[in-house]
Amino acid sequence: MSENEVRKLILDIIHDIAPDEDLSDVKSDVRLRDQLDLDSMDFLDIVMELRKRHQIEVPEEDYMELSTLDGCVAYLSPKFA
């Protein structure tokens, strides 16, 4: 899976969790929670959706890797390889 596909996958999950959020201008190097109205439960929902849709387990100690869109792509891309 390409980096652009991983990026789209993450944005699709965020859209499903927070459908009212405007994702058209999400900066890839800024914390998602600083840009979007996501709380800790929303973040956990993202992790759960990764597990449910793609069978990807994210250990709690790795959650910080998913704080930005770039971080998500860097962390998840090898898992899809």
Tokens read off for 50: 């990764």
* pLDDT for res 18: 94
* pLDDT for res 69: 96
Q: Which residues in the chain land under pLDDT 70?
A: none
Spatial separation of the C-alpha atoms in residues 47 and 81, rounded to whole Å = 19
* pLDDT for res 81: 82
Predicted TM-score (pTM) of the model is 0.91
Q: Contact at 8 Å (CB) between 47 and 66? A: yes
What domains can be seen in the chain, in order of their start residue? 3-80 (1.10.1200.10)
- Which residues, other chains included, contact 78 with Cβ-Cβ below 8 Å and sequence gap of 6+? none
